[in-house]
Amino acid sequence: MAHLWIQASAGPGQGWAAVPLAGWAYRFMATAPYVRRAATGSDSAGGEMLVRIVRDSVEHWFLLVPPQGRLWVNGQPASLGVRALADRDEIRLRHGQRLYFSIERLPQIAPFPGAEREVPCGRCRKPIKEGTSAVLCPGCGTWCHQTEELPCWRYKDSSHCPVCNQSNGVEVDYRWSPVGL
């Protein structure tokens, strides 16, 4: 799930928090947390918005900027119109607050949604059945079983995805954050 990195405190040792973007649209605010989920319909007029569009199962995020809007993306004015966002884009609000957009995902155990063709587990190579607990590696997109019988994602002798270097630990954290920028 995409998220915004929002500065939780100012000064030395600046703290940043990842705020998940689970909704379809967000409005920017002048005070922390600097974004709020937009209500359907009644909250659609005026002001800058962050909007999610899903096409062919791929998530895309856009900034909508009205004529009076004042936002900057990566140091450039995001004036009137639509601006597609990319991973690690800096969004600077009119009062100077910096936010960072990120599409990095954390691995999560979830029911395998199924696919048109058989999908083999990245570790054991056995097919993953629809509804079976599994993990989609956010690093490489490989599916792995994660059941009592087949704990392939959190395999006891491994600390990474069987295909890439994505950590498979229980307390996995984001690989990138704006700390130090």
Q: What is the pTM of this model?
A: 0.77
Query: Is the CATH number 2.40.50.100 carried by domain 3-102?
Result: no
pLDDT of residue 6: 92
Output 108-116 pairs: Cβ under 8 A, ≥24 positions apart.
108/135, 108/136, 109/133, 109/134, 109/135, 109/146, 109/153, 110/134, 110/135, 110/136, 112/143
Which among 90, 87, 53, 91 has a CA at the least distance from the CA of 69?
91
Q: Where are the domains of the chain?
A: 3-102, 106-175
pLDDT of residue 156: 86
pLDDT of residue 171: 78
pLDDT of residue 172: 79
pLDDT of residue 61: 95
The tens-digit pLDDT sequence of the chain (181 residues) is 799 999 876 555 568 999 999 899 999 988 888 899 987 644 555 688 999 998 877 889 999 988 877 889 999 988 778 899 999 999 999 888 999 999 988 888 999 998 889 999 999 999 999 999 999 998 888 999 999 999 999 988 888 999 998 888 877 788 888 987 8
Structure tokens at 161: 């995805």
pLDDT of residue 32: 83
